[in-house]
Amino acid sequence: MPKSTNVKDYIRTIADFPHEGIMFRDVTTLFADPRGFRMAVDQMLHPYAGLRIDKVVGLEARGFILGGAMAHQLSVGFVPIRKKGKLPGKVISEDYQLEYGEAVVEVHDDAIAAGETVLLVDDLLATGGTAEAGIRLIERLGGEIMGCAFIIDLPELGGRARLEKLGMDVHALCAFEGA
């Protein structure tokens, strides 16, 4: 990988995955490079420097990688939002729409205390459906979302506008045109 200060340079694009016509933005190449990974985590945290964050919440699955690293750096707790049926114990659920069908995400019902400030993270913001479902779960637990941080924004799919319409502060390190 190149020595770069631009996170986008570490991201590989794979054509026609998982379906023909899709340009898959693969962050595993970013995660595999120690300089790129550290840079991504640092840059995702930068807009929130000096602000109180009680928990970092990561969306399944690559949000776990980023969220865990960010929570460690901040010395705060990490909370996973998972696909239905993956968490033991008592959970709350939120349905959301996919391009073709529906999905459900869950969080433990005691993962976030009322009034805790939360940073929601994931690798990619596309339509915003998963992030919106995560936001609804956090709000149902009484968490106060201080921001939503992503590595990649796909602006043409409208996720940023969707989250901003909910009153969220959205930060992405880079954007790619197209789906």
Active site residues: 62, 99
Could you give the C-alpha distances from 15 to 18, 20, 86, in angstroms and in order? Answer: 9, 8, 30
d(CA 152, CA 173): 6
Burial 95-128 (b: 16+ CB within 10 A, else e): ebeeeeeeeebbbbeebbeeebbbbbbbbbbbbb
Element at 13 (helix H, strand E) = strand 12-15
- Structural contact between residues 153 and 172, judged by C-beta atoms closer than 8 angstroms: yes
